[in-house]
Amino acid sequence: MLDAHSYLLGENALVVALHTDKPSPSEQRRLFALTVSLQHSNAFLDIVPAKASVTAYLADPSQYQYWLKKAMLLWEESEEVAFNVQTHHIDAIYGGEHGPDLMDVAQRLNLSAKQVVECHSEYTYQVEFLGFLPGFAYLGTLPDPLQLPRKSTPRKQVPKGSIAIAEDLSAIYPSSSPGGWHLLGHCSHTLFDPTANPPSLFAPGDKVIFIPNKEGIC
Amino acid sequence: MLRVIKQGVMASIQDIGRFGYRHYGVCRSGALDPFAVCLANMLLDNPPHQAVIEITIGLAEFEFAQPCNFALTGGCLNAKLADRPIYPGWRYYAHAGDKLTFATSASAQRAYFTVQGGFALEPTLSSYSTDLQAGFGGHQGRALQTDDCLNYQKSSTELAPLGVKQPEYKKQVRVLKGPHCDKLPAGSFEQLINAPWTVSEVSNRMGSRFSSASLLSHNVAIATQAVHPGVIQVPPSGEPIVLLNDCQTTGGYPIVATVIDADLRMFSQLGANQQCNFVECDLTQARKASDKLSAHLAQFNLAKNNN
């Protein structure tokens, strides 16, 4: 049985979607490989990978029938090839005013604050996809012991640079915005600059490592 | 120079939108009626995708410091130039010191205007549109404010009067069936089509939210996927949301339908508490509707050049 299918969303969005909502790491790498082969075709205005799918916006919508089939062939052929992955080291200050939810998270998870920081920073994350805000990267997968639901009441203003967790993901807020994630720390890296090329520090597939700064809990 | 005397409810610089950066989480932005952008520019022989000012609701006032030709399109917000009524779909000539004012209207929400030669602006990420959430593009990355000044080339020659027929704004929009209808409770799509829907007050440039006597409530979860303007998402509460230009690039609610590209412009004029119907159509009809709009522009161009 096929593990994915393709369909047209609206008039020009070609979607290749897995049949599972929780792709394995190997399936995820194949989705990134598919993204790269679609990029090479120059047939799309934009290609947006997400949790268990890739959506490609056709430059010429009349070509959709060809691409519905072609995209599936590319998926079948897509291998977990090493593509051009960047690794980013993020200087993170955990706890205190920089991470106002760290103590609460530790308490809810029956861990010490130090254990939460250790667990969060010893893992290498991958940018699964971007969304929500320009430059906002969904970093997977958060280690099991740190997983907890979003806050029941979202904050009206999460400061720019906040390092946060929710469910099985971590993220850094590229600009201040309302948000319901738990704030563990802060970093001062510029994640999104509309005047830079590319405008976003993170791209889908990139690796991210948090390095605890001595100014905070580490 | 154009000076903002009163910003009104909201006025912002927009064009037909920002494309090619969705994978970085950058939304389309742009005018809710991109067709009105093209018409305004074409009335002035500007390139069709140049920046315009989108006036939302109205109550705004501007002053032309130098003489220029300008064009007004979109909905009728009872605009006046130097106290004389002017109408969307026409170009006009402003003398130095003339004031352009917008009142309001019960039946229209947004008007567009631009000047001959366009405003002096720098594009950001290949577009003049203001990204109002992220705060970049347009004029200083924000909506226009009182005392803002936009530069333009003055024109001492008044162009002959010229008007263009604007396609009607309807309260019926055509939709294509969405990908998650088999996951949503049976009959959800049919209910979307058959029920009359009312625009809720929490609608904005990110999306129009709708309510009805009986909603499309569900408890279906889908994996977060890419979304775009026109996608109709259904959150568990059952109030469908038509995503518009400022929508996020990904979404985690099931998609019951998508509004066809040609009818998305209707949402530029649908205000809170107005009724709207969704009508099913197929891909061929959707393409025909888009072709019809393109033909409208081509015909206008032809007619204009033959005069």
For an interface test with A, give the residue of B250, B259, B260, B294 to mutate (most A CBs within 10 A): B250
- pLDDT for B231: 98
**Hey, are the CB atoms on A46 and B19 less than 8 Å from each other?**
yes
- Can you give chain B as a three-state secondary structure string? CEEEEECCCEEEEECCCCCCCHHHCCCCCCCCCHHHHHHHHHHCCCCCCCCEEEEECCCCEEEECCCEEEEEEECCCCEEECCEECCCCEEEEECCCCEEEECCCCCCCEEEEEECCCECCCCECCECCCECCCCECCECCECCCCCCEECECCCCCCCCCCECCCCCCCCEEEEEECCCCCCCCCCHHHHHHHCCEEECCCCCCCEEEEECCCCCCCCCCCCCEECCCCEEECCCCCCCEEECCCCCCEECCCEEEEECHHHHHHHHCCCCCCEEEEEECCHHHHHHHHHHHHHHHHHHHHHHHCC
**Record: contact A48-B250, CB cut-off 8 A:** yes
Which pLDDT does position A83 carry in this prediction?
Answer: 65
Residue ranges matching CATH 3.30.1360.40 in chain A: 4-77
Q: CA A142, CA A125: separation in Å to the nearest integer?
A: 8
Which chain A residues are within 8 Å of B230, Cβ to Cβ?
A: 10
Is A209 part of the contact surface with chain B (CB cutoff 8 Å)?
no
Share of chain A above pLDDT 90, in %: 81
Tell whether B284 lies on the interface with A, counting CB pairs under 8 A: no
Please tell me what DSSP assigns to residue A69.
H
Average pLDDT over residues A105-109: 96
Is A17 an interface residue toward B (CB < 8 Å)?
A: yes
Given this model, what pLDDT does residue A78 score? Answer: 87
Q: Does domain A87-212 have CATH number 3.40.50.740?
A: no
B286 interface with A at CB cutoff 8 Å: yes
- Number of other residues whose CB lies within 10 A of the CB of residue B198: 16
- Mean pLDDT, rounded, for B58-63: 98
CATH of domain A4-77: 3.30.1360.40
Chain A hits for B251, Cβ within 8 Å: 131
pLDDT digits (tens, 9 = 90+) for A52-85: 999 999 999 999 999 999 999 999 988 876 567 8
User: Is the Cβ of A51 closer than 8 Å to some Cβ of chain B?
Assistant: yes
Interface membership of B25 toward A (CB under 8 Å)? yes
CB proximity A139 to B under 8 Å? no
Could you state, in order of their start, the residue ranges of all structural domains in chain B? 2-150, 172-289
Instruction: Answer whether CATH 1.10.1200 is correct for domain B2-150.
Output: no
CATH of B172-289, one of 1.10.600.10, 2.40.100.10, 3.40.50.620, 3.40.50.1820: 2.40.100.10
- Say whether A49 and B258 touch across the interface (CB within 8 A): no
Residues of B in contact with A22 (CB under 8 A): 223
Report the largest interatomic distance among the alpha carbons of chain B, rounded to a whole angstrom: 64
Chain A's closest residue to B248, CA to CA, is A132
The answer to whether the Cβ–Cβ distance between A53 and B137 falls below 8 Å is no
Express each pLDDT in B107-150 by its tens digit: 999 999 999 999 999 999 999 999 999 999 999 999 999 999 99
ω into A198 cis (within 30 of 0): yes
Task: Please say if the pLDDT value at position A1 is more than 70.
Answer: no
CB-CB neighbors (< 8 A) of B226 in chain A:
13, 15, 48, 50, 53, 55
Inspect the interface and report whether the beta carbons of A48 and B23 lie closer than 8 Å: yes
Q: In sequence order, which residues have a C-beta less than 8 Å from that of residue B74 and are 6 or more positions away?
A: B33, B36, B54, B55, B88, B108, B110, B111, B112, B166, B268, B269
User: What average pLDDT does this structure show over A7-27?
Assistant: 94
Residue A86 three-state SS: coil
Closest residue of chain B to A192, computed from CA coordinates: B24
For B281-300, what is the mean pLDDT? 96
Using N-to-C axis directions, what is the helix angle for B283-305 and B34-43, rounded to 10°? 10
Helix (H) or strand (E) holding A72: helix A64-77
CA atoms of B64 and B50, how far apart (whole Å): 19
Q: What is the pLDDT of residues B166-222, one digit of tens each?
A: 999 999 999 999 999 999 999 999 999 999 999 999 889 999 999 999 999 999 989
Residue of A nearest to B247 (CA): A132
What pLDDT does residue A25 have? 84
Chain B residue with the nearest C-alpha to that of A23: B223
- Residues 6 or more apart whose CB falls under 8 angstroms from that of B299 comprise none
User: Is the CB of B120 inside 8 Å of chain A's CB atoms?
Assistant: no
Residue B300 in contact with partner chain A when CB distance is under 8 A: no
Cβ–Cβ of B23/A22 closer than 8 Å?
no
- By the 10 Å C-beta count (0-12 exposed, 13-18 middle, 19+ buried), B267 is classed as buried
CB contact under 8 A, A50 and B19: no
Point out the residue among B23, B137, B221 whose CB comes nearest to the CB of A49: B23
The 10s digit of each residue's pLDDT in B255-289 is: 999 999 999 999 999 999 999 999 999 999 999 99
Question: Taking CB atoms and an 8 Å limit, are B258 and A10 in contact across chains?
Answer: yes
Q: What integer pLDDT is reported at residue B307 of this predicted model? A: 65
Q: Are A8 and B286 within 8 A, CB to CB? A: no
B288 in reach of chain A (CB within 8 A): no
Average pLDDT value for chain B: 96
Q: Are strands B275-280 and B197-199 parallel, antiparallel or unpaired?
A: antiparallel
Asked if residue A28 lies in contact with residue A128, where contact means CB atoms within 8 angstroms, the answer is yes
Give ranges for CATH 2.40.100.10 in chain A.
87-212
Q: Are A51 and B26 an interchain contact pair (Cβ–Cβ within 8 Å)?
A: no
Residues 133-152 of B with CB under 8 A from A: 133-137
Q: Are B127 and B37 in contact (CB under 8 A)?
A: no
